[in-house]
């Protein structure tokens, strides 16, 4: 078995698969490793932002069309924010956006890599450790096997082993602890519309996103703040039961059936600029903490950062330069694409957390729809 590659990508979620797709045809010998066997579940709201499709178009327009044609998705035309049961406002999406269970969405991307590129794939192989040498990187897998490459892309999500091995320990990132459940038969659904509800039970919002075959993805997130002693998985599961039994939602869930378990997972929110690359490594997606602090969107950032990482990797080989200084080209590009948007979301999140009465004011003032459309567009929410 070949154990030496030009590039090793750890993690075959949206970031890793996009990176492998974008490296296709660049003359590099690429390995993609994942601890899971695909298709696999990923705890998520399953709302695929429009930018995810745009990023796929950037890699290959044909792949974006294939992704849009995938049958296991529901196109979403609008999102509605309920400030109270009676007061809501709606935002119409201009670009194509969809909801799709990650079981299908991620598997589709992974299959593109498997079937349409020369990437060497390792499934069911966990990377346990890695070490960076003067002219290579070595990954040690759970079974003791060692794989090496000139550069490694850490696309291995929130608990990234690549990040932990390559960067000094950082002050704990801000993480949302979020839960997700699948329900069939929820009543009162508006077709092709995502619902966000501001409710007293949680600081953030409760979501209901329609999926194909009559399913809905429901869930909510809370800032995992140890000092408040809240945000444990047990706490948030109990809270979900409390929300569904509340007066506001009881009737809508009366005849609905849950499918599978309620699952929780963390979202590594973007909070500040930080190192996300260095000598012979690069981080993308959740491993680089690129989740939008207001919307909780991370799939689009994962795909885009996978593409941008692939561009940087190509530059490294062209210039035969894998030094930390040279990698800042990647960080600048990420900053250029997402910096303003993420900084704005972060400030807005902080502002709303400090001034929760603003949302209450909104309920009473209820600005006209055109003001809301303007604000959403301006803030790029």
Ligand X SMILES: Cc1cc2nc3c(=O)[nH]c(=O)nc-3n(C[C@H](O)[C@H](O)[C@H](O)COP(=O)(O)OP(=O)(O)OC[C@H]3O[C@@H](n4cnc5c(N)ncnc54)[C@H](O)[C@@H]3O)c2cc1C
The footprint of ligand X (CB under 6 A) covers 10-16, 33-36, 42-47, 49, 126-127, 155-157, 161, 178, 180, 219, 265, 267, 285-287, 291, 296-300, 302
Instruction: Give me 71's structure tokens.
Output: 């049958």
Q: Which is nearer to ligand X, 274 or 366 (CB)?
A: 274
Residue 3, helix vs strand vs coil: coil
Q: Which is nearer to ligand X, 241 or 363 (CB)?
A: 241
Question: C-alpha angle with apex 221: 287 to 364, nearest 5 degrees?
Answer: 130
**Closest residue to ligand X using C-beta atoms:** 298
Q: How far is the CB of 371 from ligand X (least distance, A)?
A: 26
Q: How far is the CB of 127 from ligand X (least distance, A)?
A: 4
d(CA 361, CA 117): 53
Q: Which is nearer to ligand X, 163 or 280 (CB)?
A: 163
Q: Which is nearer to ligand X, 124 or 255 (CB)?
A: 124
d(CA 264, CA 44): 9
The closest of 217, 233, 219, 208 to 182, measured between CA atoms, is 217
> Would you say 220 and 230 are in contact if contact means Cβ atoms under 8 Å apart?
no
d(CA 217, CA 206): 11
Q: How far is the CB of 182 from ligand X (least distance, A)?
A: 12
Q: How far is the CB of 49 from ligand X (least distance, A)?
A: 5
d(CA 80, CA 192): 11
Q: How far is the CB of 80 from ligand X (least distance, A)?
A: 15
CB atoms under 10 Å from CB of 23, counted, come to 29
Q: Which is nearer to ligand X, 287 or 381 (CB)?
A: 287
Q: How far is the CB of 350 from ligand X (least distance, A)?
A: 20
Residues 191-226: b if buried by 16+ CB within 10 A, e if exposed: eebbbbbbbeebbbbbbbbbbeeebbbbbbbbbbee
Q: Which is nearer to ligand X, 57 or 87 (CB)?
A: 57
């Amino acid at each position: 078995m070949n154990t030496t590659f030009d590039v090793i990508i750890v993690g075959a979620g949206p970031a890793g698969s996009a990176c492998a797709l974008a490296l296709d045809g660049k003359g590099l010998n690429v390995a993609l490793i994942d601890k899971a066997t695909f298709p696999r579940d990923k705890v998520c709201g399953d709302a695929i932002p429009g930018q995810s499709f745009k990023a796929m178009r950037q890699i290959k327009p044909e792949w974006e069309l294939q992704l849009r044609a995938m049958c296991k998705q529901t196109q979403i035309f609008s999102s509605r924010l309920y400030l109270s049961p009676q007061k809501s406002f709606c935002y119409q999406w201009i670009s194509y956006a969809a909801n799709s269970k990650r079981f299908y969405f991620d598997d589709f991307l992974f299959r593109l890599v498997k079937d349409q590129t020369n990437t060497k794939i390792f499934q069911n192989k966990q990377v346990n450790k890695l070490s960076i040498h003067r002219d290579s990187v070595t990954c040690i897998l759970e079974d003791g096997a060692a794989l090496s490459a000139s550069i490694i892309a850490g696309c291995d999500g929130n608990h990234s082993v690549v990040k932990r091995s390559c960067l000094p320990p950082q002050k704990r990132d801000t993480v949302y602890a979020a839960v997700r459940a699948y329900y069939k038969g929820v009543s009162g659904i508006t077709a092709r519309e995502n619902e966000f509800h501001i409710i007293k039970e949680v600081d953030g919002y409760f979501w209901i996103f329609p999926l194909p075959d009559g399913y809905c993805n429901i869930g909510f997130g809370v800032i995992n703040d140890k000092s408040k002693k809240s945000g444990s998985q047990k706490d948030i599961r109990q809270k979900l039961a409390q929300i569904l039994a509340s007066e506001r939602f009881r009737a809508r869930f009366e005849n609905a059936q849950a499918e599978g378990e309620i699952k929780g997972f963390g979202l590594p929110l973007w909070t500040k600029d930080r190192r996300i690359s260095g000598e012979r490594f690069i981080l993308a997606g959740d491993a680089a903490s690129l989740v939008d602090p207001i919307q909780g969107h991370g799939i689009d950032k994962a795909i885009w950062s996978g593409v941008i990482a692939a561009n940087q990797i190509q530059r490294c080989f062209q210039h035969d330069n894998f030094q930390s200084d040279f990698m800042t080209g990647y960080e600048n590009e990420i900053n250029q694409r997402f910096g303003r948007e993420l900084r704005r979301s972060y400030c807005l999140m902080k502002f709303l957390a400090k001034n929760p009465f603003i949302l209450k004011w909104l309920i009473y003032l209820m600005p006209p729809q055109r003001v809301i459309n303007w604000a959403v567009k301006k803030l790029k929410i």
